[in-house]
Structure 1
Amino acid sequence: MNNPYIPKKYEIIDIQHQTDIDYTYRLACDIAPQNGQFVEVSIPKIGEAPISISDFGPGYIDMTIRRVGKVTNYLHDLKIGDSMFLRGPYGNGFSLDQYKGKHLMITAGGTGLAPVKSIINHFHRNPQEIKKLDLLIGFKSSKDILFAEEIEAWKKNEKFNVILTIDRQEEGWTGNVGLVTQYVPALEVLDEDNLEVIIVGPPMMMKFTGLEYLKRNIGEERIWVSFERKMSCGIGKCGHCKIDETYVCLEGPVFNYVKAKQLMD
Protein backbone atom coordinates (compact mmCIF):
# COMPACT_ATOMS: atom_id res chain seq x y z
CA MET A 1 0.00 0.00 0.00
CA ASN A 2 1.41 3.41 -1.03
CA ASN A 3 2.09 5.96 1.69
CA PRO A 4 0.36 9.22 0.58
CA TYR A 5 2.89 11.29 2.53
CA ILE A 6 5.97 10.05 0.64
CA PRO A 7 7.03 12.41 -2.20
CA LYS A 8 9.06 11.65 -5.33
CA LYS A 9 12.19 13.42 -6.49
CA TYR A 10 12.10 15.48 -9.72
CA GLU A 11 14.81 17.49 -11.49
CA ILE A 12 14.55 21.21 -12.24
CA ILE A 13 15.11 21.69 -15.99
CA ASP A 14 14.35 25.42 -16.30
CA ILE A 15 13.83 28.51 -14.12
CA GLN A 16 12.17 31.74 -15.24
CA HIS A 17 12.32 34.85 -13.03
CA GLN A 18 8.88 36.50 -13.24
CA THR A 19 9.46 39.19 -10.58
CA ASP A 20 11.96 39.74 -7.76
CA ILE A 21 10.03 37.26 -5.61
CA ASP A 22 8.19 35.04 -8.15
CA TYR A 23 10.05 32.30 -10.03
CA THR A 24 8.62 29.70 -12.40
CA TYR A 25 10.25 26.27 -12.13
CA ARG A 26 9.91 23.60 -14.80
CA LEU A 27 10.44 20.06 -13.55
CA ALA A 28 10.99 16.92 -15.60
CA CYS A 29 7.97 15.09 -14.31
CA ASP A 30 5.57 12.24 -15.09
CA ILE A 31 2.68 13.86 -13.19
CA ALA A 32 -0.40 14.39 -15.40
CA PRO A 33 -2.55 16.97 -13.56
CA GLN A 34 -5.90 18.58 -14.22
CA ASN A 35 -5.96 22.31 -14.84
CA GLY A 36 -6.12 24.05 -11.46
CA GLN A 37 -4.75 21.20 -9.33
CA PHE A 38 -1.82 21.61 -6.95
CA VAL A 39 1.10 19.59 -5.59
CA GLU A 40 2.91 19.47 -2.28
CA VAL A 41 6.55 20.55 -2.63
CA SER A 42 8.89 19.38 0.10
CA ILE A 43 12.54 19.86 0.96
CA PRO A 44 13.99 17.33 3.45
CA LYS A 45 14.70 18.89 6.88
CA ILE A 46 13.17 22.21 5.71
CA GLY A 47 9.43 21.67 5.26
CA GLU A 48 6.58 21.38 2.78
CA ALA A 49 4.36 23.84 0.90
CA PRO A 50 1.29 23.48 -1.38
CA ILE A 51 1.96 24.99 -4.81
CA SER A 52 -0.40 25.44 -7.77
CA ILE A 53 0.58 23.95 -11.12
CA SER A 54 0.81 26.88 -13.53
CA ASP A 55 1.28 24.82 -16.69
CA PHE A 56 2.12 21.31 -17.82
CA GLY A 57 2.80 19.17 -20.83
CA PRO A 58 4.26 15.78 -21.80
CA GLY A 59 7.11 15.11 -19.40
CA TYR A 60 7.01 18.34 -17.41
CA ILE A 61 5.08 20.58 -15.05
CA ASP A 62 5.57 24.29 -14.23
CA MET A 63 5.10 25.85 -10.81
CA THR A 64 5.23 29.59 -10.16
CA ILE A 65 6.49 30.04 -6.61
CA ARG A 66 6.51 33.24 -4.55
CA ARG A 67 9.17 33.77 -1.88
CA VAL A 68 7.07 34.10 1.28
CA GLY A 69 8.62 31.88 3.96
CA LYS A 70 11.06 29.21 5.03
CA VAL A 71 10.32 26.61 2.35
CA THR A 72 9.94 29.04 -0.54
CA ASN A 73 13.06 30.96 0.49
CA TYR A 74 14.99 27.70 0.18
CA LEU A 75 13.37 26.88 -3.17
CA HIS A 76 14.42 30.25 -4.60
CA ASP A 77 18.06 29.33 -4.03
CA LEU A 78 17.78 26.19 -6.18
CA LYS A 79 19.27 26.07 -9.65
CA ILE A 80 18.75 24.11 -12.87
CA GLY A 81 19.85 20.55 -12.23
CA ASP A 82 18.79 20.63 -8.59
CA SER A 83 15.76 18.67 -7.41
CA MET A 84 12.48 19.12 -5.60
CA PHE A 85 10.34 16.47 -3.93
CA LEU A 86 6.67 16.40 -4.93
CA ARG A 87 3.55 14.49 -4.00
CA GLY A 88 0.22 14.85 -5.72
CA PRO A 89 -1.51 16.21 -7.73
CA TYR A 90 -4.38 17.01 -5.40
CA GLY A 91 -7.81 18.57 -5.50
CA ASN A 92 -10.54 18.96 -8.08
CA GLY A 93 -9.51 21.26 -10.91
CA PHE A 94 -11.21 23.01 -13.79
CA SER A 95 -12.80 20.83 -16.47
CA LEU A 96 -11.83 22.05 -19.96
CA ASP A 97 -14.92 20.34 -21.38
CA GLN A 98 -17.03 22.73 -19.30
CA TYR A 99 -15.69 25.67 -21.33
CA LYS A 100 -15.19 24.29 -24.82
CA GLY A 101 -17.38 25.86 -27.48
CA LYS A 102 -18.42 28.67 -25.14
CA HIS A 103 -17.69 32.29 -24.31
CA LEU A 104 -15.30 32.18 -21.36
CA MET A 105 -14.53 35.09 -19.04
CA ILE A 106 -11.51 34.71 -16.74
CA THR A 107 -10.68 37.25 -14.04
CA ALA A 108 -7.41 36.71 -12.20
CA GLY A 109 -5.81 38.77 -9.45
CA GLY A 110 -2.05 38.63 -8.79
CA THR A 111 -0.72 35.12 -8.33
CA GLY A 112 -4.26 33.89 -9.04
CA LEU A 113 -3.20 33.98 -12.68
CA ALA A 114 -0.97 30.93 -12.13
CA PRO A 115 -3.71 28.31 -11.54
CA VAL A 116 -5.58 29.37 -14.71
CA LYS A 117 -2.57 29.89 -17.01
CA SER A 118 -2.75 26.33 -18.32
CA ILE A 119 -6.40 26.89 -19.33
CA ILE A 120 -5.53 30.14 -21.10
CA ASN A 121 -2.61 28.52 -22.92
CA HIS A 122 -4.77 25.58 -23.99
CA PHE A 123 -7.27 27.85 -25.70
CA HIS A 124 -4.46 30.05 -27.04
CA ARG A 125 -3.07 26.98 -28.80
CA ASN A 126 -6.56 25.73 -29.77
CA PRO A 127 -8.65 28.85 -30.49
CA GLN A 128 -11.10 26.80 -32.56
CA GLU A 129 -12.32 25.24 -29.30
CA ILE A 130 -13.75 28.48 -27.90
CA LYS A 131 -16.10 31.23 -29.08
CA LYS A 132 -14.33 34.02 -27.21
CA LEU A 133 -12.11 34.45 -24.15
CA ASP A 134 -12.24 37.65 -22.10
CA LEU A 135 -9.18 37.77 -19.85
CA LEU A 136 -9.18 40.39 -17.09
CA ILE A 137 -5.90 40.42 -15.12
CA GLY A 138 -5.04 42.69 -12.19
CA PHE A 139 -1.76 43.26 -10.33
CA LYS A 140 -0.80 45.63 -7.51
CA SER A 141 1.90 47.29 -9.63
CA SER A 142 3.81 46.89 -12.87
CA LYS A 143 6.64 45.22 -10.92
CA ASP A 144 4.23 42.46 -9.85
CA ILE A 145 3.16 41.42 -13.36
CA LEU A 146 3.57 37.69 -14.00
CA PHE A 147 3.98 35.97 -17.39
CA ALA A 148 4.49 39.30 -19.20
CA GLU A 149 5.66 37.72 -22.47
CA GLU A 150 2.75 35.29 -22.54
CA ILE A 151 0.27 38.09 -21.82
CA GLU A 152 1.59 39.93 -24.88
CA ALA A 153 1.17 36.78 -26.96
CA TRP A 154 -2.40 36.31 -25.68
CA LYS A 155 -3.24 39.87 -26.77
CA LYS A 156 -2.48 38.88 -30.37
CA ASN A 157 -5.02 36.02 -30.36
CA GLU A 158 -8.10 37.03 -32.36
CA LYS A 159 -10.39 35.10 -30.00
CA PHE A 160 -8.97 36.83 -26.90
CA ASN A 161 -9.87 40.15 -25.31
CA VAL A 162 -7.10 40.86 -22.78
CA ILE A 163 -7.39 43.63 -20.19
CA LEU A 164 -4.33 44.09 -17.98
CA THR A 165 -4.61 46.58 -15.12
CA ILE A 166 -2.60 47.70 -12.09
CA ASP A 167 -4.12 49.08 -8.91
CA ARG A 168 -2.67 52.61 -9.01
CA GLN A 169 -1.15 54.92 -11.58
CA GLU A 170 2.64 54.80 -11.85
CA GLU A 171 5.10 57.06 -13.58
CA GLY A 172 5.62 55.76 -17.10
CA TRP A 173 2.67 53.35 -17.01
CA THR A 174 0.39 53.85 -20.03
CA GLY A 175 -1.94 50.89 -19.51
CA ASN A 176 -5.15 50.39 -17.56
CA VAL A 177 -5.39 51.49 -13.94
CA GLY A 178 -7.83 50.36 -11.26
CA LEU A 179 -9.18 47.22 -9.64
CA VAL A 180 -10.46 44.41 -11.86
CA THR A 181 -13.98 44.90 -10.50
CA GLN A 182 -14.40 48.20 -12.35
CA TYR A 183 -13.79 46.51 -15.72
CA VAL A 184 -16.33 43.69 -15.34
CA PRO A 185 -19.38 45.88 -16.29
CA ALA A 186 -17.83 46.70 -19.68
CA LEU A 187 -17.30 43.10 -20.80
CA GLU A 188 -19.55 42.20 -23.72
CA VAL A 189 -21.58 39.00 -23.38
CA LEU A 190 -21.94 37.18 -26.71
CA ASP A 191 -24.45 34.55 -25.63
CA GLU A 192 -25.84 34.29 -22.09
CA ASP A 193 -26.73 30.64 -22.60
CA ASN A 194 -23.15 29.73 -23.53
CA LEU A 195 -21.18 31.79 -21.04
CA GLU A 196 -18.83 30.56 -18.29
CA VAL A 197 -16.88 32.65 -15.76
CA ILE A 198 -13.72 31.81 -13.78
CA ILE A 199 -12.46 33.99 -10.91
CA VAL A 200 -9.18 33.34 -9.07
CA GLY A 201 -7.31 35.62 -6.68
CA PRO A 202 -7.29 36.90 -3.11
CA PRO A 203 -10.50 36.16 -1.16
CA MET A 204 -11.80 39.76 -1.14
CA MET A 205 -11.06 40.14 -4.83
CA MET A 206 -13.03 36.97 -5.63
CA LYS A 207 -15.92 38.05 -3.43
CA PHE A 208 -16.42 41.47 -4.99
CA THR A 209 -15.63 40.33 -8.54
CA GLY A 210 -18.26 37.62 -8.16
CA LEU A 211 -20.78 40.23 -7.05
CA GLU A 212 -20.01 42.31 -10.15
CA TYR A 213 -20.75 39.35 -12.40
CA LEU A 214 -23.97 38.64 -10.50
CA LYS A 215 -25.05 42.24 -11.05
CA ARG A 216 -24.94 41.45 -14.76
CA ASN A 217 -27.51 38.68 -14.22
CA ILE A 218 -24.97 35.95 -14.89
CA GLY A 219 -26.21 32.85 -13.08
CA GLU A 220 -24.31 31.53 -10.08
CA GLU A 221 -24.10 28.13 -11.75
CA ARG A 222 -21.98 29.70 -14.54
CA ILE A 223 -19.31 31.07 -12.18
CA TRP A 224 -16.30 29.07 -10.97
CA VAL A 225 -13.73 30.06 -8.34
CA SER A 226 -10.58 28.52 -6.87
CA PHE A 227 -9.70 28.52 -3.17
CA GLU A 228 -6.14 27.42 -3.93
CA ARG A 229 -4.80 29.73 -1.22
CA LYS A 230 -6.51 27.58 1.43
CA MET A 231 -4.47 24.47 0.65
CA SER A 232 -2.38 22.78 3.31
CA CYS A 233 -1.73 19.01 3.58
CA GLY A 234 -3.70 18.16 0.43
CA ILE A 235 -5.33 14.97 1.70
CA GLY A 236 -7.83 16.15 4.31
CA LYS A 237 -5.84 15.17 7.38
CA CYS A 238 -4.62 18.43 8.94
CA GLY A 239 -7.91 20.35 8.80
CA HIS A 240 -6.26 23.71 8.02
CA CYS A 241 -8.26 24.14 4.80
CA LYS A 242 -11.59 23.24 6.42
CA ILE A 243 -14.42 25.77 6.16
CA ASP A 244 -17.35 24.64 8.30
CA GLU A 245 -17.77 21.01 7.21
CA THR A 246 -16.02 21.39 3.83
CA TYR A 247 -12.47 20.18 3.28
CA VAL A 248 -11.29 22.50 0.49
CA CYS A 249 -8.40 20.21 -0.49
CA LEU A 250 -10.78 17.28 -1.07
CA GLU A 251 -13.87 18.98 -2.55
CA GLY A 252 -11.98 21.88 -4.16
CA PRO A 253 -9.97 23.99 -4.62
CA VAL A 254 -12.27 24.66 -7.60
CA PHE A 255 -15.89 25.27 -6.67
CA ASN A 256 -18.97 26.38 -8.49
CA TYR A 257 -20.24 29.68 -7.08
CA VAL A 258 -23.42 27.98 -5.84
CA LYS A 259 -21.24 26.18 -3.30
CA ALA A 260 -18.46 28.77 -3.03
CA LYS A 261 -20.73 31.59 -1.82
CA GLN A 262 -21.26 29.57 1.36
CA LEU A 263 -17.51 29.31 1.91
CA MET A 264 -16.43 32.90 1.29
CA ASP A 265 -15.49 35.00 4.30
Structure 2
Amino acid sequence: MSKNEYIPFASEITEVIKHTDIEYTFRMKYEGEVKPGQFFEVSIPKYGEAPISVSGIGDGTVDLTIRRVGRVTDEVFEHYAGDRLFLRGPYGNGFDVENYRDRELVVIAGGTGLSPVRGVVEYFSEHPEEVKGMTLVAGFKSPKDILFLEDFARWKKSMEVILTVDCSDGDFSCQIGLVTEYIPKLPVKDKGEAVAVVVGPPAMMHFTTKGLLEAGFKEENIWISHERKMCCGIGKCGHCKIDDTYVCLDGPVFNFTKGSRLID
Protein backbone atom coordinates (compact mmCIF):
# COMPACT_ATOMS: atom_id res chain seq x y z
CA MET A 1 0.00 0.00 0.00
CA SER A 2 1.48 3.35 -1.04
CA LYS A 3 2.13 6.05 1.52
CA ASN A 4 -0.17 9.09 1.57
CA GLU A 5 2.22 12.03 1.25
CA TYR A 6 -0.35 14.42 2.70
CA ILE A 7 -0.54 12.69 6.10
CA PRO A 8 1.83 14.32 8.65
CA PHE A 9 3.43 12.77 11.70
CA ALA A 10 3.46 14.16 15.23
CA SER A 11 6.78 15.50 16.55
CA GLU A 12 7.56 16.67 20.07
CA ILE A 13 9.11 20.08 20.70
CA THR A 14 12.21 19.51 22.83
CA GLU A 15 13.26 23.17 23.11
CA VAL A 16 12.16 26.63 22.03
CA ILE A 17 14.91 29.20 21.44
CA LYS A 18 13.99 32.87 21.16
CA HIS A 19 16.05 35.00 18.76
CA THR A 20 13.87 38.07 18.26
CA ASP A 21 10.34 39.06 19.21
CA ILE A 22 8.98 37.33 16.09
CA GLU A 23 11.59 34.63 15.33
CA TYR A 24 12.01 31.49 17.39
CA THR A 25 13.72 28.16 16.74
CA PHE A 26 11.63 25.10 17.52
CA ARG A 27 13.83 22.05 18.12
CA MET A 28 11.82 19.02 17.06
CA LYS A 29 12.30 15.30 17.61
CA TYR A 30 13.15 13.65 14.29
CA GLU A 31 14.93 10.44 13.34
CA GLY A 32 15.94 10.16 9.71
CA GLU A 33 18.05 11.57 6.90
CA VAL A 34 17.92 15.33 6.45
CA LYS A 35 20.16 17.88 4.73
CA PRO A 36 20.73 21.61 5.28
CA GLY A 37 18.40 23.62 3.07
CA GLN A 38 15.62 21.04 2.99
CA PHE A 39 12.25 21.94 4.52
CA PHE A 40 9.35 20.46 6.45
CA GLU A 41 5.68 21.27 6.20
CA VAL A 42 4.63 22.29 9.73
CA SER A 43 0.93 21.98 10.44
CA ILE A 44 -1.66 22.42 13.16
CA PRO A 45 -5.18 21.01 12.67
CA LYS A 46 -7.77 23.71 11.89
CA TYR A 47 -5.06 26.29 11.21
CA GLY A 48 -3.21 24.95 8.16
CA GLU A 49 0.44 24.31 7.33
CA ALA A 50 3.53 26.21 6.27
CA PRO A 51 6.88 25.21 4.71
CA ILE A 52 9.77 25.83 7.12
CA SER A 53 13.47 25.37 6.30
CA VAL A 54 15.74 23.20 8.40
CA SER A 55 18.09 25.49 10.33
CA GLY A 56 19.94 22.85 12.33
CA ILE A 57 20.48 19.11 12.45
CA GLY A 58 21.14 17.37 15.76
CA ASP A 59 21.23 13.88 17.18
CA GLY A 60 17.59 12.86 16.86
CA THR A 61 16.40 16.44 16.32
CA VAL A 62 15.95 19.09 13.65
CA ASP A 63 15.75 22.83 14.19
CA LEU A 64 13.01 24.82 12.49
CA THR A 65 13.44 28.58 12.76
CA ILE A 66 10.06 30.23 12.34
CA ARG A 67 9.00 33.82 11.85
CA ARG A 68 5.61 34.83 13.24
CA VAL A 69 3.85 36.20 10.17
CA GLY A 70 0.35 34.75 9.93
CA ARG A 71 -2.38 32.36 10.99
CA VAL A 72 -0.32 29.15 11.13
CA THR A 73 2.82 30.62 12.66
CA ASP A 74 0.81 32.64 15.19
CA GLU A 75 -0.58 29.36 16.49
CA VAL A 76 2.84 27.62 16.38
CA PHE A 77 4.13 30.30 18.75
CA GLU A 78 1.53 29.19 21.29
CA HIS A 79 3.35 25.85 21.62
CA TYR A 80 6.18 25.11 24.04
CA ALA A 81 8.67 22.38 24.96
CA GLY A 82 6.79 19.15 25.50
CA ASP A 83 4.00 20.10 23.08
CA ARG A 84 3.70 18.55 19.65
CA LEU A 85 3.48 19.88 16.11
CA PHE A 86 2.68 17.93 12.96
CA LEU A 87 5.35 17.60 10.26
CA ARG A 88 5.62 16.34 6.70
CA GLY A 89 8.97 15.90 5.02
CA PRO A 90 11.80 16.55 4.71
CA TYR A 91 11.31 17.87 1.19
CA GLY A 92 13.54 19.47 -1.42
CA ASN A 93 17.12 18.80 -2.43
CA GLY A 94 19.03 20.81 0.18
CA PHE A 95 22.67 21.87 0.10
CA ASP A 96 25.24 19.20 -0.73
CA VAL A 97 28.46 19.86 1.22
CA GLU A 98 30.35 17.82 -1.40
CA ASN A 99 30.02 20.83 -3.73
CA TYR A 100 32.13 22.93 -1.36
CA ARG A 101 34.81 20.56 -0.06
CA ASP A 102 38.45 21.44 -0.80
CA ARG A 103 37.43 24.88 -2.12
CA GLU A 104 37.40 28.40 -0.74
CA LEU A 105 33.80 28.87 0.41
CA VAL A 106 31.87 32.11 0.83
CA VAL A 107 28.40 32.11 2.40
CA ILE A 108 26.39 35.33 2.13
CA ALA A 109 23.05 35.42 3.94
CA GLY A 110 20.48 38.14 4.43
CA GLY A 111 18.08 38.15 7.38
CA THR A 112 16.15 34.90 7.74
CA GLY A 113 18.16 33.58 4.79
CA LEU A 114 20.73 32.52 7.37
CA SER A 115 18.35 29.80 8.60
CA PRO A 116 18.45 27.40 5.60
CA VAL A 117 22.20 27.80 5.16
CA ARG A 118 23.08 27.58 8.86
CA GLY A 119 23.58 23.82 8.54
CA VAL A 120 26.34 24.37 5.96
CA VAL A 121 28.02 26.94 8.20
CA GLU A 122 27.78 24.58 11.18
CA TYR A 123 29.21 21.66 9.22
CA PHE A 124 32.33 23.49 8.07
CA SER A 125 32.69 25.19 11.46
CA GLU A 126 33.06 21.68 12.87
CA HIS A 127 35.18 20.44 9.93
CA PRO A 128 37.32 23.46 8.91
CA GLU A 129 39.98 21.16 7.47
CA GLU A 130 37.55 20.21 4.68
CA VAL A 131 37.68 23.65 3.03
CA LYS A 132 40.64 25.78 1.93
CA GLY A 133 39.07 28.76 3.66
CA MET A 134 35.64 30.02 4.63
CA THR A 135 33.99 33.40 4.91
CA LEU A 136 30.51 34.11 6.26
CA VAL A 137 28.85 37.45 5.52
CA ALA A 138 25.53 37.83 7.34
CA GLY A 139 23.40 40.94 7.14
CA PHE A 140 20.37 42.04 9.18
CA LYS A 141 18.22 45.17 9.35
CA SER A 142 19.33 46.08 12.88
CA PRO A 143 21.00 44.50 15.94
CA LYS A 144 17.63 43.43 17.35
CA ASP A 145 16.95 41.41 14.17
CA ILE A 146 20.09 39.24 14.38
CA LEU A 147 19.46 35.50 14.40
CA PHE A 148 21.72 32.88 16.05
CA LEU A 149 23.71 35.60 17.80
CA GLU A 150 25.45 33.17 20.18
CA ASP A 151 26.67 31.09 17.22
CA PHE A 152 28.68 33.93 15.71
CA ALA A 153 31.27 33.93 18.51
CA ARG A 154 31.85 30.21 17.95
CA TRP A 155 31.96 30.50 14.16
CA LYS A 156 34.61 33.21 14.37
CA LYS A 157 37.04 30.63 15.78
CA SER A 158 37.11 28.64 12.53
CA MET A 159 36.23 31.10 9.74
CA GLU A 160 36.20 34.74 8.72
CA VAL A 161 32.90 36.27 9.88
CA ILE A 162 31.45 39.60 8.78
CA LEU A 163 28.29 40.47 10.72
CA THR A 164 26.67 43.62 9.41
CA VAL A 165 23.45 45.58 9.96
CA ASP A 166 21.72 48.17 7.81
CA CYS A 167 21.57 50.56 10.77
CA SER A 168 22.56 50.52 14.42
CA ASP A 169 21.46 52.30 17.58
CA GLY A 170 25.09 52.66 18.60
CA ASP A 171 24.89 50.17 21.47
CA PHE A 172 25.98 47.12 19.49
CA SER A 173 29.41 46.35 18.09
CA CYS A 174 29.23 45.16 14.48
CA GLN A 175 29.72 46.40 10.94
CA ILE A 176 27.20 48.72 9.33
CA GLY A 177 26.24 48.39 5.68
CA LEU A 178 24.68 46.07 3.11
CA VAL A 179 26.28 42.67 2.51
CA THR A 180 27.14 43.71 -1.06
CA GLU A 181 29.56 46.33 0.26
CA TYR A 182 31.84 43.56 1.56
CA ILE A 183 32.14 41.53 -1.64
CA PRO A 184 35.18 43.51 -2.94
CA LYS A 185 36.84 42.94 0.47
CA LEU A 186 36.37 39.16 0.60
CA PRO A 187 39.57 37.41 1.77
CA VAL A 188 39.51 34.95 -1.14
CA LYS A 189 42.74 34.08 -2.92
CA ASP A 190 41.28 32.64 -6.13
CA LYS A 191 37.80 33.96 -6.91
CA GLY A 192 37.72 32.03 -10.19
CA GLU A 193 37.83 28.74 -8.30
CA ALA A 194 36.05 29.73 -5.08
CA VAL A 195 32.44 28.67 -4.43
CA ALA A 196 29.63 30.73 -2.92
CA VAL A 197 26.21 30.21 -1.37
CA VAL A 198 23.75 33.13 -1.39
CA VAL A 199 20.43 33.05 0.47
CA GLY A 200 18.14 35.93 1.37
CA PRO A 201 15.38 38.19 0.02
CA PRO A 202 15.13 38.26 -3.81
CA ALA A 203 16.60 41.77 -4.18
CA MET A 204 19.50 40.89 -1.89
CA MET A 205 20.26 37.71 -3.86
CA HIS A 206 20.07 39.59 -7.17
CA PHE A 207 22.61 42.25 -6.22
CA THR A 208 24.82 39.86 -4.26
CA THR A 209 25.18 37.37 -7.10
CA LYS A 210 25.74 40.28 -9.50
CA GLY A 211 28.53 41.52 -7.22
CA LEU A 212 30.12 38.08 -6.98
CA LEU A 213 30.15 37.69 -10.77
CA GLU A 214 31.71 41.14 -11.16
CA ALA A 215 34.33 40.16 -8.58
CA GLY A 216 35.35 37.13 -10.65
CA PHE A 217 33.25 34.26 -9.30
CA LYS A 218 31.99 31.86 -11.95
CA GLU A 219 28.27 31.33 -12.43
CA GLU A 220 28.62 27.56 -12.00
CA ASN A 221 30.34 28.08 -8.64
CA ILE A 222 27.40 29.91 -7.04
CA TRP A 223 24.37 28.29 -5.36
CA ILE A 224 21.16 30.00 -4.28
CA SER A 225 17.92 28.95 -2.58
CA HIS A 226 14.51 29.84 -4.04
CA GLU A 227 11.87 29.51 -1.33
CA ARG A 228 9.08 31.78 -2.42
CA LYS A 229 5.58 30.47 -3.10
CA MET A 230 6.20 26.90 -1.93
CA CYS A 231 3.02 25.39 -0.59
CA CYS A 232 2.28 21.63 -0.75
CA GLY A 233 5.91 20.48 -0.86
CA ILE A 234 5.28 17.61 -3.28
CA GLY A 235 4.69 19.29 -6.64
CA LYS A 236 0.89 18.92 -6.69
CA CYS A 237 -0.52 22.39 -6.06
CA GLY A 238 1.55 24.24 -8.67
CA HIS A 239 2.08 27.36 -6.55
CA CYS A 240 5.87 27.19 -6.91
CA LYS A 241 5.97 26.17 -10.59
CA ILE A 242 8.19 28.38 -12.73
CA ASP A 243 8.05 27.30 -16.40
CA ASP A 244 8.71 23.54 -16.15
CA THR A 245 10.42 23.72 -12.75
CA TYR A 246 8.77 22.89 -9.44
CA VAL A 247 10.78 24.70 -6.75
CA CYS A 248 9.67 22.30 -4.01
CA LEU A 249 10.79 19.26 -6.01
CA ASP A 250 13.72 20.47 -8.14
CA GLY A 251 14.97 22.90 -5.47
CA PRO A 252 14.76 24.92 -3.40
CA VAL A 253 18.55 24.90 -3.84
CA PHE A 254 19.76 25.65 -7.35
CA ASN A 255 23.10 26.17 -8.98
CA PHE A 256 23.09 29.73 -10.29
CA THR A 257 23.33 28.52 -13.90
CA LYS A 258 19.75 27.30 -13.42
CA GLY A 259 18.52 29.51 -10.58
CA SER A 260 19.31 32.77 -12.37
CA ARG A 261 16.85 31.81 -15.10
CA LEU A 262 13.93 31.10 -12.76
CA ILE A 263 11.94 34.31 -13.03
CA ASP A 264 8.67 34.21 -11.09
Once the two structures are superposed, the pairs formed by residues 120-139 of structure 1 within 5 Å of their partners are: 120-139=121-140
The residue number in structure 1 matching 2:60 is 59
Residue 77 of structure 2: aligned partner: 76
Instruction: Name the CA distance, whole Å, in 2 between partners of 1:31 and 1:8.
Output: 13
Q: Which residue of 2 aligns with 1:7?
A: 8
Counterpart in the other structure of 1:230: 229
Which has the higher mean CA deviation after the structures are superposed, 2-11 or 31-40? 31-40
Query: Over aligned residues, Cα RMSD in angstroms?
Result: 1.2
- How do 1:32-43 and structure 2 match up within 5 A? 32-43=33-44
Q: CA deviation at 1:149?
A: 0.3
Deviation for aligned residue 1:174: 3.3
Q: How far did 1:251 drift?
A: 0.8
Whole-Å separation in 2 of the counterparts to 1:231 and 1:244: 15
Within 1, Cα distance between the matches of 2:23 and 2:232?
A: 22
Residue type at the aligned position of 1:219: K
Q: Check conservation: 1:180, 1:209, Cα contact below 8 A.
A: yes
Query: Residue by residue, what CA displacement relative to the aligned partner does 1:32-90 show, whole Å, maximum 9, x if unpaired?
Result: 21121001001011100000000112211100000000000000110110001101111
Q: What's the offset of the Cα at 1:186?
A: 0.8
Structure 1 runs (4+) deviating above 6 angstroms are none
Question: Which residue of 2 is the match for residue 221 of structure 1?
Answer: 220
Whether contact under 8 Å (1:31, 1:60) holds in the other structure is no
Q: Distance in 2 between matches of 1:230 and 1:153?
A: 34
Corresponding residue number in structure 1 for 2:255:
256
Summarize the alignment of residues 1-265 of structure 1 with structure 2, pairs less than 5 Å apart.
1-157=2-158, 160-192=159-191, 194-264=193-263
- Please list every run of 5 or more consecutive structure 1 residues that lacks an aligned counterpart in the other structure: none
Given that 2:41 and 2:49 are in contact with CA atoms closer than 8 Å, whether structure 1 keeps it comes out as: yes
Say whether the 8 Å CA contact 2:192–2:218 is kept in structure 1.
no
Does the Cα contact within 8 Å between 1:104 and 1:196 map onto a contact in 2?
yes
Letter in 1 for 2:80: K
Whether the 8 Å contact between 2:28 and 2:62 is mirrored in structure 1 is yes
| Paired amino acid for 2:114 | L
**Secondary structure, counterpart of 1:206 in structure 2:** helix
Kindly indicate whether the alpha-carbon contact (under 8 Å) linking 2:143 and 2:168 is maintained by their aligned counterparts in 1. Answer: no
Task: Single out whichever of 85-94 and 191-200 deviates more from structure 2.
Answer: 191-200
- Structure 2 distance, partners of 1:194, 1:212, is 16
Tell whether the 8 Å contact from 1:31 to 1:61 is kept in structure 2 after alignment: no
CA distances 1:145-165 after superposition (whole Å, capped 9, x unpaired): 0000001111122xx110000
CA apart distance, 1:252? 0.6
Return the offset for 1:239.
1.0
Partner deviation per Cα, 1:169-227 (whole Å, 9 max, x = no partner) = 32323321111011111102223454110000000100000000010121100000001
In 2: Cα distance, 1:81 partner to 1:34 partner: 25
Q: Is the 8 Å Cα contact of residues 207 and 264 (structure 1) preserved in structure 2?
A: no
- The C-alpha deviation readout for 1:124-151, integer Å capped at 9, x for no partner, is 1111111111100000111100000001
Q: Is the 8 A contact 1:12 1:25 kept in 2?
A: yes
Identity of aligned pairs, percent? Answer: 52
Q: Secondary structure at the match of 1:138?
A: strand
Q: Distance in 2 between matches of 1:94 and 1:258?
A: 16
Q: Which amino acid aligns with 1:44?
A: P
The more displaced of 162-171 and 35-44 is 162-171
Q: Which amino acid aligns with 1:212?
A: G
Q: 1:164 to 1:264 in 2, by over 3 A?
A: farther
Taking structure 2 as the reference length, the TM-score comes to 0.96
The SS at the match of 1:34 is: coil
